[in-house]
Structure 1
Amino acid sequence: MCYRARAVYVISVAMLVGVFMPPLARAGTVLVAQDDASNYTNWGVTGLDEGVGLDAWVFHVTPEGGFAGNYLADTNSQATLNSIESGAAGKAWGMYANGGGPSDFPRTAVFRGFGYNGSLWANNLANPGDRLKLSMESGAIALSASCGFALRSGNADFSADDYNNGSLFEFGLYSSPTVIDPNFSIYDGSGGKVDTGIPWATHQDGLDFTFTLTGSNTYDLAIYDASSPSTLLTNIVSTLNGNAPLDSIALFNRDVGTSFDVFFNKIEIHKYYPPTLFMVK
């Protein structure tokens, strides 16, 4: 009697998708989505979809008596764009909102989901070790204003006021009708507004963020000086405002004021993958 041997191969997910996964049987974080302003010739129209691993941009502008909008900024035309630009032309994503009177409230918000765009998995932040990187640059703001970004569950994007709809984490600069906060702040699950201790007046060259999930509702946020990327300004360990995956980001500028445009750039998502083996006969 003759027996035919059958080969048994051990294959990892890494072998199937190449550069998108770590080597065989090795855990690690993998860049699964990224975009930056150097990919664009304009910015401000819903449906723009450069980069990889992210949904298309959705833009909402509400002038409400003033002026608001979004544009592709560069260092040649924007003297206040200092350290977060990318590409030979020095580009970044710019947002403006300024009013003409005390009753005006111009605002703009820009939304992007962490969905499927040629990548193998949905790229939301859902597991410990999943990580998002982003750069932001802003100067002073007017009274009764705010600017920043929110990481959200779901992707509500129907108006400029949806920027914090489903927000589990929010970072920004804020002011009341009488006082401009001296430092950047965070809203998360801690309750109320949390002072980061980073003064905007001495960090107008921009900030680089590395946001990492550490549990189902906990995170670690490292904030660096964008003009000196190796300089860690603070490291915040805290709790999200809820227990759900982070599915989208919203960038917002709410009546920050004339000459105080806000800039963003260099978004990346890194997913954590444990060692993965399966058998194929």
Structure 2
Amino acid sequence: MSEWSHITVLLQEAVDALVTDPKGQYVDATFGRGGHSRLILSRLDPAGRLTAYDKDLEALAAAAQIKDERFDIRHQGFASLGELPPRSAAGVLMDLGISSPQIDNPARGFSFRADGPLDMRMDTTRGQSVADWLTSASQQQIAEVIREYGEERFAGPIAKAIVARRQERGPFSSTLELAELVAGAVKTREPGQNPATRTFQALRIFVNAELEELEKALKGCLEVLQPGGRLVVISFHSLEDRIVKQFIARHSRAVVDRRAPFAEPPPSLLKALGRVRPSPAEVAANPRSRSAIMRVAERTEAPL
């Protein structure tokens, strides 16, 4: 186990919304440090099962501490959950984004507050690090990533500064070096927010293909959830939440075929059950929970 701790956000609320059948098969799509998984297991009967997913090797080490025959962990991104048998899951939980141990450990390269290698991969066994990508990406590519995934209005000046620095002194290697460069290119910033926040978010989302994986996982949920099964998703920034919100809305209403406006519309696949924000007490105890939004939906009886 690592020394870096993690406080699970919306723990009780998420598991309360998820577990409706103690004998069911559940999916924790983002194991992290197992806060949700352990509580889910405590709610299940001996016949219940829990399958978890995580790409992070440290998360897999934490999962190995759970000695329970009802539990298994898979070293995969949660986009793979669509490979589970159709209608096999009584509930799927997704706790999106980055965990505190990943942020707090400088060696992982996610933090702009402490120096470390410029990596940001959740699965360090595969893929391209941020440092590697910045070595070869064009100014236009860098600007597009920072603008699209960080919603950063100074994406252009930041990309220009990155390329100029690269041409002058060679590849980036450390997080603080990049953070300081970004701070010099960002003219204004919201009070209390580090100038590098949006850029680091964008680069992390990009190298881990987080939004593409989320969209694929949500689509998979429609197939693996049984009728009455719950989808519970906790998001931490607007890009994730927008995808989840639109996905639930799109599948919660009957769609009229404009080519046959009088035909019976196909049944909806989901029923939206609402959204939950952390309580003031939780935010006070764990400030990192303040941006969390949990959305809950239920699979309908509609055919696959």
TM normalised by structure 2 equals 0.26
Say which structure is richer in strand. Answer: 1
